[in-house]
Structure 1
Amino acid sequence: MDFWDLTKLMIRRWYVSVTLLLVTIAATGYAATEIKPDYAITSYVQLIPPTVASDPNKVISVQNPWLALGLSSLSNAATVATQDQTFLDALKKKDETASFEITISDKNPVAIIAVVAPTLEEAQSATTEVTTQYEKSVDSLQKQYNVKKADMITAYRLDKGENLKRPGGKVKRAVVVIFAIGILLTGGITILVDTLLRRRKRRKGGDAGAAPEMPPGSAAIPLNGTFPSVPQINRPSVNGDADKTKPLGQYARGGAQQQNGRDPGAETIVIPSMPRARQGGERGNDRGRRT
């Protein structure tokens, strides 16, 4: 069944397909109005190296191994530390439905923290928790090397939590899924109903055209007292003429009924002879005569 056949079937069973389509449209509209988009807040955290002396003649020795590796290395390490399972469990207990993602800029050591939550309060709370944990991770990674405070790399948040968006991707996905499921159910249920109706119609037609059942022990008796005629079987005669034998049905009625005033038992059935056997006998006689 192709798309055109399905369309014709849905038109023929319009009372089923139209009802299901209306239900699908109603469910899709309800999902579009009731499902609310999430709140997304994006934060930016910049890593700042330690300050140097304003006097170029003054030599200052900075002892921080992360400076030798680069600020990007410290930013990546802080990202991994922020995604620790202990912190994730604590965040889940406080903001159950919030989720976050940390990405590092390629050009500058800036951590981009994106938080998504169903409510504005959860989004703001989760953003504060994640940025604070990221800053703590930057400090702890340097303190384990006994870096002095003057030599430490500091994390500075560039935004004020005002980068708020409400993306409608979740609503669009829900609407598309509900509408697709409704269309599939409409086609499937319409085909099922059509199959059941055809089967019931075929069953009713078969019951109406069937012959009535006879009770056990009964026999069929013709109303006019005669039996249907038996087709005649033509047999060629011995002499090859066009004479026909009597119908076999005249001798199968038990001798109780006569045909044309004669007794059926007095009739003679003529069996044609075998031509080959006759020729063989004649050849045998000829051989006997020759001998």
Structure 2
Amino acid sequence: MDFWGTITVLFRRWYVVVPAFLLSLAAAVGVYSTVPTTYVSSAVLVLTTPTTGGSLPSDPSRPNGLTNPLLNFDRGLSISASILIAVMSTPDMGTELGVAEGGDTTFKISNGGNNLESLATGPYVFIEGESLSPDAAQDIVKRVIARTRIELANRQEAVKAPKATYITSYEAVPPTVPLAQRGRKMRAVAAALGVGIATAICAAFIAESFTQSRRARREARKRADTKRTAEPPPGTAALNGRAPADSSAAR
């Protein structure tokens, strides 16, 4: 059926389409009220080297010159950031931070992209916390930052790096004010409306098919009744055929 044929069916069966559409609107309102609003807080850490660089001077009487850490980025900081992201993304780390699987509070840590093969793209660690409570969303970000700094120190201690050369983290973006996220609610509403509209269209075509089928059966019965009325009864034809023979016999 073409587009205009569909429109014609919908208008002809409006008494089915309108109630179904109203029910879909009611379902969308119910879905919107039941899907909770979540809050998101985020932060960005930048790994930096000490002002004296990443190595100790071979001659203590000639110390290394001082350098602006924000002007001293190298590949090693990117690798260190990728190590931290991998460590902090494990399920065990989430459990230690009090994040239960399927719970109301979650966090994500990344380099700002979704491509896992390009983790070592810069000395950046992006942290995002999400929860049903704004305070909980910001709190999980603070806890992840604190634990990330501990892990950074532990990894450097494990390789016996001189403390004077330890990499430090700088909060380029401190934990932000939690913002309400209604995208999940709107997606649920859109899904409910889509299902409702599809149901309304299907109901209209079912009603159309049922009506046409009933009309066809009614017309078939009417034609059968008309045909039976027009034809003489079988007994009448037999009597008419024997009438002449009976008359001659009487004579």
Short-chain TM bin: 0.7 to 0.9
Q: Does 1:178 align with 2:192?
A: yes
Structure 1: stretches of 5+ with no match in the other structure = 62-66, 213-218, 228-252, 262-291
Aligned pair count reads 222
2:161 paired residue number: 147
Instruction: Tell me the distance in 1 between the aligned counterparts of 2:173 and 2:140.
Output: 15
User: Which TM-score applies when normalising by structure 2?
Assistant: 0.72
Query: How well do the aligned residues superpose, as a CA RMSD in angstroms?
Result: 3.6
Instruction: Tell me the distance in 2 between the aligned counterparts of 1:35 and 1:85.
Output: 26
1:92 paired residue number: 99
Instruction: Tell me the distance in 2 between the aligned counterparts of 1:49 and 1:126.
Output: 26
Instruction: Tell me the distance in 2 between the aligned counterparts of 1:8 and 1:68.
Output: 68
> Map of 1:1-291 to 2, 5 A cutoff?
1-52=1-52, 58-59=62-63, 70-90=76-96, 91-93=98-100, 96-104=103-111, 109-210=123-224, 220-222=234-236, 225-226=239-240, 256=245
Instruction: Tell me the distance in 2 between the aligned counterparts of 1:89 and 1:134.
Output: 15
- What amino acid is aligned across from residue 87 of structure 2 in structure 1? A
Q: Which has the higher contact order (CA 8 A, sep 6+)?
A: 2
CA spacing shift, 1:2–1:122, aligned 2, 3 Å: farther
- What amino acid is aligned across from residue 222 of structure 1 in structure 2? T
Following TM superposition, by how much is the alpha carbon of 1:28 offset from its aligned partner in structure 2, in angstroms?
Answer: 2.4
- What amino acid is aligned across from residue 98 of structure 1 in structure 2? T
Q: Equivalent residue of 2:181, what SS?
A: coil
Q: Equivalent residue of 1:41, what SS?
A: strand
- What amino acid is aligned across from residue 3 of structure 1 in structure 2? F
User: Which TM-score applies when normalising by structure 1?
Assistant: 0.64
Larger-Rg structure? 1
- What amino acid is aligned across from residue 256 of structure 1 in structure 2? A
Instruction: Tell me the distance in 2 between the aligned counterparts of 1:103 and 1:114.
Output: 9
CA spacing shift, 1:12–1:102, aligned 2, 3 Å: same
Instruction: Tell me the distance in 1 between the aligned counterparts of 2:75 and 2:47.
Output: 14
1:239 paired residue number: none
Instruction: Tell me the distance in 2 between the aligned counterparts of 1:93 and 1:101.
Output: 14
CA spacing shift, 1:224–1:102, aligned 2, 3 Å: same
Following TM superposition, by how much is the alpha carbon of 1:135 offset from its aligned partner in structure 2, in angstroms?
Answer: 1.7
Following TM superposition, by how much is the alpha carbon of 1:86 offset from its aligned partner in structure 2, in angstroms?
Answer: 1.0
Could you tell me the percent identity over the aligned residues? 20
1:248 paired residue number: none
CA spacing shift, 1:163–1:72, aligned 2, 3 Å: farther
Following TM superposition, by how much is the alpha carbon of 1:16 offset from its aligned partner in structure 2, in angstroms?
Answer: 0.5
Q: Equivalent residue of 2:161, what SS?
A: coil
- What amino acid is aligned across from residue 83 of structure 1 in structure 2? S
